A and B are shown apart, each in its own frame.
Chain A
Amino acid sequence: MASDDIWILGINMTKFGKHPDKDIVDLAAEAAMAALSDGGVTMKDVGVLAAGNLMSAAAGIGQQLQKQIGQTGIPVYNVANACATGATALRTAIMAIKAGETPVGLAVGVEKLSGAGLLAGGARKADSDEWTPSGRYGAVAGVDGRIGTETMPGVFSQVGMEYGHKYGGTSFELFARISEKNHSHSTLNPMAAYQKKMTLEEIMGDVMVAYPNTRPMCSANCDGAAAAVVVSGEYLKTLSLEQQKRAIKVSASILTSDPYQVACQILPDVNTLTRLAATQAYEQAGVSPQDLDLVELHDCFATAELVHYDNLMLCDEGGAVDFFESGATWRDGKTPVNVSGGLESKGHPIAATGIANIWEVCHHLRGEAGDRQIKDAKVGLAHVIGLGSACGVHILERSAA
């Protein structure tokens, strides 16, 4: 292993679901302590902590966590980057190691979202009794619902529909079948919030949230945390053979925001920045999409999964529908996608998601994924996108030790 490589030494996720008896610090502590233990290190070894919790981003989750599991005076970075918060925390720890500030970093993401309901948009204020223009559009009244939608399901539904308009072949049923796959995959994942297999009829017949996404086609709000210990290659060399064998190489760690594209300020363009991140990641890792044994991508909605097949270049440009129809993304297919059940069934505790998807990939690369193990997995990719936008792509490889 090269001295300047970055490795995941220890990683853990809590079970996703309802945790009414635990607060965000409990969940973060559970994941962080388990990740340290998994890596065979303690807080004494950690030189930097990056922590994310989106819903109370101003509360300083990193320091709150330190006060419960170990205050050692190290720098703490509290990060918030929409649904890419967890990936941003991990990348922050990695950057500190790459900068030579410390050989060991800890990244944590945690969220409590059970019962949170619909995200984004917020309540529209009642119209005032005097029309007074305000804001960047000089609006005299609330525009959500009057000029399009600000809800996440509505935005991502349009993202999928736009792909259909551009390339054809999409339908309500096609999107529902993507969801059927992920719910089927979830039955093998005991860490998932929901492990219920759903038929196509059940999915299509469920409550419509924003056409064409029904409720089971939307990411599930839930509680959870995930944490990872990252180390330099030089540091890893000083550890035991057992630790070296279970360490997972971070072959690429990329974060992008959306470059200007025509109309990107009308409907968020989740495509260009994902393609940009993927391109950089494949180049940094020296792997191609064909090399991937599994992919965990950001299926915040079934419509989003389809476009990301294309954005991550798992298929030819414009070929996402055919790619899905070929069965490629089922767990026994050519490029298994979201064998964890994805955000639609595993759940989406926002800031935890960007580390939990990396845990899933690591679990397979270590050969520790039990019933859902993708046989002989060597290379995997984890992708998240936070609207606004931020995109994180990590490529992970099994240790050769």
Chain B
Amino acid sequence: MAQQVPLVDYLVLGDDPHLVANECTSCGARFFDRRNACASCFGTEFKKADVSPTGEVRAFTIVSFAAPGIPVPFVAAVIDCDGTSVRGNVINTPADPEHVSLGMKVKLATYEVGTDAAGTEAIGFGFEPLN
């Protein structure tokens, strides 16, 4: 199997792909980016916290016009994963309002973004309908 890298460093690959957040050890606020400090309590200690791979669609849009180089249409969404909000696309279902709805239950799914010159696959994530 080709070597794989995640699209972003907060995506953990393997048998059980999932997202991991930087959780503030003093207030519990969760962030996905590299942190200087906590935006909520200004603390500087963080620990890694696994994010639930299932959740529900809290908000979505179906983007028909995007920047050059981005295939459309696609569904951009905010997923509430057991209390942690995650930004991601809704995938593996048609991008139309008949197939995507507010409150819809979804689960994390990975897909191949592409392969680089060394043959390494980049793996991205999205959320697909649970049923």
Please report A residues at the B interface, Cβ cutoff 8 Å. Answer: 118, 121-131, 133, 136-151, 153-154, 157-159, 161-162, 164-165, 172, 207-213, 260, 262-263, 265-267
- Of A128, A157, A263, the most chain B CB neighbours within 10 A belong to A263
Contacts of A118 in B (CB 8 A): 65-67
- Interface flag for B130 (CB, 8 Å): no
Q: How far is the CA of A123 from the CA of B60 in the complex (A)?
A: 22
Write the nearest CB–CB distance from A249 to chain B, whole angstroms: 37
Pick from B97, B103, B113, B120: contact of A146, CB below 8 A.
B113
Q: How far is the CA of A147 from the CA of B70 in the complex (A)?
A: 11
**CB distance A151 to B124 under 8 Å?**
no
Nearest residue (CB) in B for A146 is B124
**CB distance B61 to A157 under 8 Å?**
yes
**CB distance A146 to B7 under 8 Å?**
yes
Pick from A122, A147, A207: contact of B124, CB below 8 A.
A147
**CB distance B29 to A260 under 8 Å?**
yes
Given the known inter-chain contacts A130-B118, A158-B77, A162-B78, please indicate yes or no for A262 contacting B85, CB distance below 8 A.
Answer: yes
Write the nearest CB–CB distance from A307 to chain B, whole angstroms: 11
Contacts of A125 in B (CB 8 A): 69
**CB distance B39 to A265 under 8 Å?**
yes
Q: How far is the CA of A28 from the CA of B126 in the complex (A)?
A: 46
Contacts of B68 in A (CB 8 A): 123-124
Interface string of B83-118 (1 = CB under 8 A from A): 001111100000001000011000000000110111
- Of B33, B72, B87, the most chain A CB neighbours within 10 A belong to B87
Write the nearest CB–CB distance from A195 to chain B, whole angstroms: 25
Q: How far is the CA of A66 from the CA of B70 in the complex (A)?
A: 42
Q: How far is the CA of A213 from the CA of B10 in the complex (A)?
A: 31
Q: How far is the CA of A130 from the CA of B113 in the complex (A)?
A: 13
**CB distance A211 to B124 under 8 Å?**
no
Given the known inter-chain contacts A149-B76, A154-B61, please indicate yes or no for A172 contacting B97, CB distance below 8 A.
Answer: yes
9 interchain residue pairs of minimum CB distance: A138-B9, A145-B70, A263-B85, A157-B61, A162-B59, A211-B62, A149-B76, A136-B33, A158-B59
**CB distance A148 to B88 under 8 Å?**
yes
Give the size category of B's interface with A: 35 or more
Contacts of A147 in B (CB 8 A): 7-8, 87-89, 124-125
Given the known inter-chain contacts A137-B8, A143-B7, please indicate yes or no for A164 contacting B70, CB distance below 8 A.
Answer: no
Contacts of A143 in B (CB 8 A): 7-8
- Interface flag for B48 (CB, 8 Å): no
Write the nearest CB–CB distance from B79 to chain A, whole angstroms: 9
Q: How far is the CA of A300 from the CA of B31 in the complex (A)?
A: 28
**CB distance A137 to B9 under 8 Å?**
yes
**CB distance B29 to A154 under 8 Å?**
no
Write the nearest CB–CB distance from B42 to chain A, whole angstroms: 10
Q: How far is the CA of A42 from the CA of B101 in the complex (A)?
A: 57
**CB distance A149 to B88 under 8 Å?**
no
**CB distance A149 to B66 under 8 Å?**
yes
Nearest residue (CB) in A for B33 is A136
A-B contacts, 17 of them at CB < 8 A, read A145-B67, A147-B124, A148-B78, A148-B89, A149-B66, A150-B67, A153-B65, A154-B61, A157-B61, A159-B59, A164-B102, A165-B102, A209-B64, A210-B61, A211-B62, A260-B39, A265-B31
Q: How far is the CA of A146 from the CA of B124 in the complex (A)?
A: 8
**CB distance B60 to A161 under 8 Å?**
yes
Nearest residue (CB) in B for A121 is B67
Q: How far is the CA of A149 from the CA of B88 in the complex (A)?
A: 8
Q: How far is the CA of A370 from the CA of B76 in the complex (A)?
A: 44
Write the nearest CB–CB distance from A313 to chain B, whole angstroms: 22
Nearest residue (CB) in B for A211 is B62
Contacts of A138 in B (CB 8 A): 8-10, 34
Pick from B64, B86, B118: contact of A266, CB below 8 A.
B86
**CB distance A266 to B116 under 8 Å?**
no
Pick from B29, B61, B86: contact of A211, CB below 8 A.
B61
Contacts of A126 in B (CB 8 A): 69
Nearest residue (CB) in B for A171 is B97
Q: How far is the CA of A266 from the CA of B85 in the complex (A)?
A: 7
Q: How far is the CA of A161 from the CA of B72 in the complex (A)?
A: 20
- Interface flag for B44 (CB, 8 Å): no
**CB distance B60 to A141 under 8 Å?**
no
**CB distance A141 to B113 under 8 Å?**
yes
Q: How far is the CA of A335 from the CA of B85 in the complex (A)?
A: 35
